[in-house]
């Protein structure tokens, strides 16, 4: 009787694994194809390689089609975008998050409420207004413009997250430091910053990937090839050779996604924390 | 409060305030004002009153676009973002912890993949030629190749968006399930509940709140997101998969839909902004955000 | 250093966490703030530390009003309930953190850290991180950090509550000895009466933000000023019985439906003089009740709990339960009838309305 039940549970588990595996198959195969497709002469059955070749990676040393910029310049732009967003977001949100979480001042609850409402607001709807603002500031067609806009829209969310991390530091810690002789600013620098390290790490990675992967802002605000990011590059190839040059598409896509994959594998814990933390509604 | 304290407060808060003001508040106000102009690629503020809203009411595409938006939001939400997200959360919580984390990671990956790369993967899976994954399967079964994107645009849109959307619900639900005290589940098992009964009587009732939250939150984010539609079907065939937010984008930025009608686009976007504000206010009330506003415990600066 | 609190109040919005509190702590004294959780005792401590600003009232260190002095300039050391050790610093860095902020020379820093570490015997832990320490060790480190700057006042917030029972008993005596050796005025907050009574020179019992009584443990136990103190101090707790005080033929009688006790004259007349009405609460500690089976009030044994050295008997008197502490051997079973008699010189009487003791001289 007991053994029978045990076996039933095992069947259930096997079923669950099978289901999860099958459901995840498009994701597995998709990324697998990026690898295989990028280094194969051709593919049969969509994914079985026939002969190795680096031809698909030719974009690394020469411009694949006329009118495309040097991919290394594009990579530089993409890195600039990702680091730019990251640095601004982390610096601004850490400072503001601390003040909103821990300090008492007039207008605090208004600021807190605004952050709360804005962090959930779908910023993408502001695209047209943003376009106008960037145009006035003469920031269209420049990576800087995208950095500032992206950072600006990301900041309320990041402040909210950082506030949450600061909230999590025990008040005893801060009180103790004050009694030990620190000023409020010293407390921030020497005690609080190290204590919210995981939050800063999470926000950094999150902001980096968000900037690195940005799509709508890039294709809307940047047209000239010298300011392209990898998104514009891949998007153009999709537009020009939609179902034709899959080898090139796979190679450049893989080139683009590798940093994300690395981040993802090694820092998933932090990303998960931020995803949950950002949506900690109604607890 | 001392002068020095006030100064440091300003230094800490000002960058955030400036950024939020320039890139959040001003664009929102701009969008609303532009909605009352006939602004085009020349960027002139020629006010036309409610002209854009009248045009909206008369626009022969609007009916179709409303319908599309409804299908897109409800379809994706019902099938993937809530239901499938919940299934994934429950299943990954029912197996060994490490395996569960692995599968959750796999499903979270698309969310962090650059949208263009994600689109490339699906374009390969759905390719109308025999290079595509699905068509390869059809050929193996002795069937003809199929142009999936043109033949089943809605299926494609819902699946491609759903693979992204399911992960949010999955993560939140999984966290909620994990926070259910083990005692309840053990008690249910001791009382003789089967796995399904345990889900129905213990897990689901205890994650009601996150369920409601994800539904509300994802409704809004689906309503305003369109990048995967833009990449995969481009809203076609002939506006067949154009949703409200994509329509606003097309009207304003794509030359094929006209001549950069920023004014009309802004009016269309304003509708979404208003919905966004109202929804945020509702969250504020329903999810008791106010309760998260704790008073500071140190009274010196 | 003397610490004087005058008319001290702290309100959080509508809530009066501390209300018009007066307290005078002598130099070198070891004082406990004792009360149930939420009674305002930690708020008092944080006001002394300078973290909270009093809504009203003054705090003196000796003759100096310190209300507007920042915590860092108050020359205090504090140990928190959670110890609040900085997890990213080693034990050594934790201990010298206050010195580092004062820009103390490196050599002196090392010397002083070594000294305090020796005092509480943690020299060998200096290179570890707080996360690698046991609760007891963490507590010693926190104590070191509080002591390293040679404070004039030491504040301890529930210092023992996170330790296991055995360690707590050990630390109790160690802390007491350390405080006497160093002679630093020390104020500690606790909800554990045993901690307060065993360690402190004097105990301030606080409830609902008000000071109930401030005296030594003997006074607190044997002559509580009011019902709250009587009920809060003592384990197992005191028995309370609602009675009325009646006088007939010059005799004082305590009467209720189930009992009648004749009071000695001087107690009776004192109580009568002090009382505002005839409603009286009789308090009698479990160890002041004799169980003898010949005379006294008849009750029925409800349950018998042997505690080792003593036996706790719960006896039913009418609708109420009387706890009696007696020495073994005790031979009666559940349901047996036993007679109780109260040691009349030990009974306490409280006014039912004002809850004040009727047996203390008016002040």
> Could you read off the pLDDT of B78-96 as tens digits, one per residue?
898 899 999 999 999 888 8
Cβ–Cβ gap A30/B122 under 8 Å? yes
* A146 and A247 within one domain: yes
CA atoms of A230 and A73, how far apart (whole Å): 10
Residue A61 lies in a domain: no
B299 touches chain C (CB under 8 A): yes
pLDDT score for B15: 93
Looking at residue C226, the DSSP 8-state letter turns out to be B
A149 touches chain B (CB under 8 A): yes
ipTM: 0.88
Please name the residues between 36 and 55 in chain A that touch chain B, using a CB distance below 8 Å. 37, 43, 45-47
pLDDT score for A118: 81
Cβ–Cβ gap A173/C76 under 8 Å? no
Choose the closest CB to B26 out of A133, A220, A264. Answer: A133
For C258-276, what is each residue's pLDDT tens digit? 888 888 888 888 888 888 7
C71 touches chain B (CB under 8 A): yes
Cβ–Cβ gap C87/A195 under 8 Å? yes
CB A132 within 8 A of CB B262: yes
Lowest mean pLDDT among A48-52, A123-127, B125-129, C8-12: A48-52
Higher pLDDT, C212 or B258: C212
CB B251 within 8 A of CB B265: yes
Q: Residue C279: which pLDDT band, with cuts at 50, 70 and 90?
A: confident
CA atoms of C355 and C227, how far apart (whole Å): 5
CA atoms of A86 and A77, how far apart (whole Å): 14
Residue A141 lies in a domain: yes
Share of chain A above pLDDT 70, in %: 92
Burial of B12: CB neighbours in 10 Å, binned 0-12, 13-18, 19+: buried
pTM: 0.84
B300 touches chain C (CB under 8 A): yes
Average pLDDT over residues C313-336: 87
Cβ–Cβ gap A153/B24 under 8 Å? yes
Residue A59 lies in a domain: no
Domain hosting residue A154, numbered range: 67-279
* A274 and A168 within one domain: yes
With a cut of 50, which residues of chain B have pLDDT below it? Answer: none
pLDDT score for A283: 29
CA pseudo-torsion sign C240, C243, C244, C248: negative
Pick the CATH number of B58-241 from 3.10.580.10, 1.10.3720.10, 3.40.50.300, 3.40.50.2300: 1.10.3720.10
Lowest mean pLDDT among A43-47, A83-87, C42-46: A43-47
**Does the structure show a pLDDT above 90 at C47?**
yes
pLDDT score for B292: 62
CB A28 within 8 A of CB B106: yes
Residue A58 lies in a domain: no
Nearby residues of B234 by Cβ (< 8 Å), 6 or more positions away: none
Cβ–Cβ gap B15/A131 under 8 Å? no
pLDDT score for C221: 92
* Residue C250 neighbours by CB distance under 10 Å: 8
pLDDT score for A2: 43
- Distance, C-alpha B242 to centroid of its chain: 15
Enumerate the residues of chain C whose CB falls inside 8 A of the CB of residue A182. Answer: 72, 101
pLDDT score for B256: 57
Residue A91 lies in a domain: yes
Residue A148 lies in a domain: yes
Distances (CA, A) of A41 to A53, A155, B134, C40: 5, 45, 21, 77
Choose among A201, A114, A192: nearest CA to A160. Answer: A114
Q: Give the chains touching B; criterion: ≥3 Cβ pairs < 8 Å.
A: A, C
Beta bridge partners of B133: none
Q: How close does chain B come to A260, measured CA to CA in Å?
A: 7
CA atoms of C107 and A39, how far apart (whole Å): 63
For A110-135, what is each residue's pLDDT tens digit? 888 888 778 777 878 889 889 999 99
Stated as kind and residue range, the H or E segment containing A42 is: strand A40-44
CB B110 within 8 A of CB B162: no
E-assigned strand segments in chain C? 3-12, 15-25, 30-34, 56-61, 64-65, 76-79, 153-157, 185-190, 202-207, 210-215, 239-248, 251-255, 260-263, 279-284, 289-291, 297-306, 311-317, 320-326, 337-342, 348-351
CA atoms of C184 and C178, how far apart (whole Å): 9
CA atoms of C346 and C60, how far apart (whole Å): 39
* A80 and A8 within one domain: no
* A144 and A222 within one domain: yes
**Does the structure show a pLDDT above 50 at C4?**
yes
Residue A163 lies in a domain: yes
* A142 and A271 within one domain: yes
**Does the structure show a pLDDT above 50 at C42?**
yes
What length does chain C have?
Answer: 363
Cβ–Cβ gap A186/C145 under 8 Å? no
Choose among C12, A181, C159, C162: nearest CA to B297. Answer: C12
Three-state DSSP class for residue C252 = strand
CA atoms of C96 and C118, how far apart (whole Å): 14
Domain CATH number, residue A236 = 1.10.3720.10
What is the rounded end-to-end Cα distance, in angstroms, of chain C? 28
State the total domains in chain A. Answer: 2
* A132 and A84 within one domain: yes
Domain edges within chain B: 58-241
**Does the structure show a pLDDT above 80 at A17?**
yes
Q: How close does chain A come to B58, measured CA to CA in Å?
A: 22
CA atoms of A162 and A174, how far apart (whole Å): 16
Enumerate the residues of chain B whose CB falls inside 8 A of the CB of residue A235. Answer: 116, 231
DSSP string, A108-161: HHHHHHHHHHHHTS-GGGGHHHHHHHHHHTT-TTSHHHHHHHHHHHHHHHHHHH
Distances (CA, A) of A13 to A4, A7, C68: 15, 10, 65
Q: Residue A24: which pLDDT band, with cuts at 50, 70 and 90?
A: very high
> Angle B101-B105-B111 (CA atoms, 0-180°, nearest 5)?
150
CA atoms of A169 and A171, how far apart (whole Å): 6
CA atoms of C254 and A27, how far apart (whole Å): 85
Task: Please report, for chain A, how many H helices and E strands are present, in that order.
Answer: 12, 2
pLDDT score for C9: 92
Beta bridge partners of C297: C340
C80 touches chain B (CB under 8 A): no
C150 touches chain A (CB under 8 A): no
Average pLDDT over residues C79-85: 90
> Angle C326-C328-C334 (CA atoms, 0-180°, nearest 5)?
75
Stated as kind and residue range, the H or E segment containing B25 is: none
């Amino acid at each position: 009787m007991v053994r029978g039940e045990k076996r039933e549970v095992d069947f259930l588990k096997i079923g669950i694994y099978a289901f999860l595996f099958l459901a995840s198959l498009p994701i597995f195969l998709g990324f697998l194809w990026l690898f295989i497709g990028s280094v194969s002469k051709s593919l049969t059955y969509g994914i079985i390689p026939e002969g190795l070749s680096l031809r698909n990676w030719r974009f690394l040393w020469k411009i694949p089609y006329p009118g495309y910029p040097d991919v290394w310049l594009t990579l530089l732009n993409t890195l600039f975008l990702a680091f730019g967003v990251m640095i601004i977001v982390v610096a601004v949100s850490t400072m503001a998050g601390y003040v909103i979480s821990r300090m008492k001042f007039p207008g605090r609850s208004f600021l807190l409420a605004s952050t709360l409402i804005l962090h959930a607001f779908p910023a993408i709807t502001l695209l047209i207004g943003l376009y106008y603002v960037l145009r006035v500031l003469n920031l269209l067609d420049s990576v800087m413009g995208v950095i500032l806009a992206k950072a600006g829209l990301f900041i309320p969310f990041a402040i909210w997250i950082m506030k949450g991390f600061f909230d999590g530091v025990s008040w005893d810690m801060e009180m103790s430091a004050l009694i030990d002789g620190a000023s409020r600013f010293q407390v921030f620098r020497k005690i609080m910053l190290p204590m919210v390290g995981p939050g800063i790490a999470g926000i950094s990675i999150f902001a980096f990937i968000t900037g690195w992967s940005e799509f709508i802002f890039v294709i809307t605000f940047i047209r000239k090839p010298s300011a392209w990011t990898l998104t514009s590059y891949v998007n153009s190839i999709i537009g020009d050779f939609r179902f034709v040059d899959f080898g090139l598409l796979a190679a450049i896509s893989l080139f683009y996604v590798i940093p994300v994959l690395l981040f993802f594998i090694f820092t998933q814990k932090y990303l998960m924390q931020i995803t949950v933390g950002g949506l900690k509604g109604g607890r | 409060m001392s002068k020095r304290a006030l100064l440091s407060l300003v230094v800490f808060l000002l960058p955030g305030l400036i950024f939020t003001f320039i890139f959040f508040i001003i664009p929102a106000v701009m969008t609303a004002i532009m909605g009352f102009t006939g602004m085009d690629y020349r960027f002139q503020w020629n006010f036309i009153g409610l002209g854009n809203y009248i045009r909206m009411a008369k626009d022969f595409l609007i009916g179709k676009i409303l319908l599309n938006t409804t299908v897109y939001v409800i379809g994706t939400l019902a099938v993937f973002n809530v239901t499938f997200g919940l299934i994934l959360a429950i299943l990954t919580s029912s197996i060994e912890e490490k395996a569960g984390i692995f599968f959750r990671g796999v499903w979270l990956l698309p969310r962090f993949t650059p949208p263009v790369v994600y689109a490339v993967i699906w374009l390969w899976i759905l390719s109308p030629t025999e290079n595509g994954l699905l068509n390869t399967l059809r050929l193996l079964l002795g069937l003809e190749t199929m142009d999936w994107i043109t033949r089943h645009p809605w299926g494609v849109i819902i699946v491609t968006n759903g693979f992204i959307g399911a992960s949010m619900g999955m993560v939140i639900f999984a966290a909620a399930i994990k926070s259910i005290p083990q005692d309840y589940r053990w008690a249910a098992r001791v009382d003789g509940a089967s796995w399904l009964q345990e889900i129905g009587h213990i897990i689901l009732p205890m994650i009601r709140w996150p369920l409601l939250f994800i539904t509300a939150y994802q409704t809004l984010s689906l309503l305003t997101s369109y990048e995967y539609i833009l990449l995969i079907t481009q809203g076609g065939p002939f506006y067949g998969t154009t949703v409200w937010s994509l329509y606003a984008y097309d009207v304003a930025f794509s030359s094929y839909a006209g001549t950069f009608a920023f004014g009309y686009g802004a009016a269309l976007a304003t509708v979404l902004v208003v919905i966004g504000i109202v929804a945020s206010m509702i969250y504020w009330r329903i999810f008791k955000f106010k309760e998260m506003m704790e008073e500071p415990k140190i009274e010196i600066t | 250093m003397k610490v004087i609190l005058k008319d001290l109040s702290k309100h959080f919005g509508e809530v009066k966490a501390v209300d018009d509190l007066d307290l005078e702590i002598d130099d070198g004294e070891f004082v406990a703030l004792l009360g149930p959780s939420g009674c305002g005792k930690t708020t008092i401590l944080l006001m002394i530390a300078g973290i909270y600003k009093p809504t009203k009232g003054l705090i003196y260190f000796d003759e100096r009003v310190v209300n507007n002095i920042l915590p860092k300039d108050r020359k205090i050391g504090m140990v928190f309930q959670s110890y609040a050790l900085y997890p990213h610093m080693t034990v050594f860095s934790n201990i010298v953190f206050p010195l580092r902020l004062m820009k103390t020379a490196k050599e002196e820093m090392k010397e002083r850290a070594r000294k305090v570490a020796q005092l509480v015997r943690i020299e060998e832990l200096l290179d570890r991180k707080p996360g690698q320490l046991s609760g007891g060790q963490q507590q010693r480190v926190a104590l070191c950090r509080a002591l390293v700057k040679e404070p004039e006042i030491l504040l301890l917030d529930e210092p023992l509550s996170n330790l296991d029972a055995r360690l707590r008993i050990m630390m109790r005596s160690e802390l007491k000895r350390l405080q006497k050796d160093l002679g630093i005025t020390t104020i500690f907050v606790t909800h554990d009466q045993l901690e307060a009574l065993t360690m402190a020179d004097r105990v301030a019992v606080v409830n609902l933000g008000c000071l109930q009584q401030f005296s030594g443990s003997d006074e607190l136990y044997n002559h509580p000023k009011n019902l709250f103190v009587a009920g809060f101090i003592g384990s197992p707790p005191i028995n309370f019985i609602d009675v009325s005080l009646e006088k007939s033929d010059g005799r004082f009688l305590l009467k209720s439906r189930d009992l009648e006790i004749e009071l000695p004259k001087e107690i009776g007349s004192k109580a009568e003089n002090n009382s505002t009405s005839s409603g009286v609460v009789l308090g009698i500690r479990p160890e002041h009740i004799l169980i003898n089976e010949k005379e006294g009030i008849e009750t029925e044994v409800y349950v018998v709990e042997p505690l080792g050295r003593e036996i706790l008997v719960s006896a039913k008197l009418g609708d109420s339960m009387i706890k009696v502490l007696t020495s073994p051997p005790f031979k009666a079973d559940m349901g047996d009838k036993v007679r109780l008699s109260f040691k009349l010189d030990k009974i306490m009487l409280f006014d039912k309305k004002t809850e004040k003791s009727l047996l203390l001289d008016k002040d």
